[in-house]
Structure 1
């Protein structure tokens, strides 16, 4: 596979996991209220606002986890604790943790 095809596949995978897979999570686990849950899961992508404090704002070779303050290990611990609540807090926790997993796989499983 040539580098441009690999970059395209990486980009597709990243955005699939950020935009499409949350809909699957919502449909499977919250079928009755999936639209609301999907919107909450999408809203958790606002966690990427911490990228605005980095220089440069976007670096494709930078690991987000542990670098940005809302992607820190302390923040991830708080996101994990949200799983022990009910309702929207749990959904937010799921969304934030899934976001961290997506960012992690984006860096670890793809060549830079």
Structure 2
């Protein structure tokens, strides 16, 4: 019988230059990602803020300014890097702050835009993880998962 533990754990190559597939401008992942960023906020605006939906949509688009934190990274753009937990405005500490903004009527639209932005980027991360195990194992999401499992007393397989 094969050793199941060894089949679960894999050695992860050290971080360094990675070979990327040729970028596909119109891949399903790209279309979903940018559709969620630019098109779906119209739906959110119409559902949650119907009386001021145009303004709500523009405010939600403006929340994409949180992507300016990508300028702090080297390289600035890495198609396989998960921005959730990596960039400061996409950090696990920022999420509760954005959630608290939902409590104030004056900041609810901004909060919805920020939280949906993070949701969209999480979808992109999960899509990358589905075809890049190294990306997942090197992500801060995986590190957080392991910390939570340890806190709960569950075994962590490295």
- Is the pair's TM-score, using the shorter chain for normalization, greater than 0.5? yes
Do residues 35 (structure 1) and 78 (structure 2) align? no
Matches of 1:4 and 1:46 in 2, distance apart?
Answer: 24
Q: Deviations over 1:2-52 (max 9, x none)?
A: x977x7100000000000000111112212211000000000000000000
- Higher RCO (CA < 8 A, seq sep 6+): 1
Find 2:126's aligned residue among 98, 108, 112: 108
Unaligned runs of 5+ in 1: none
Relative to total residues, which structure has the larger helix share, 1 or 2?
1
Kindly report structure 1 stretches of 4+ aligned residues shifted beyond 6 Å: none
Instruction: Return the TM-score normalized by structure 2.
Output: 0.64
**Partner in structure 2 of residue 53 of structure 1:** 72
**Structure (1 or 2) with the larger CA radius of gyration:** 2
Instruction: Return the TM-score normalized by structure 1.
Output: 0.89
Unaligned runs of 5+ in 2: 1-21, 133-158
Count matched residues.
108
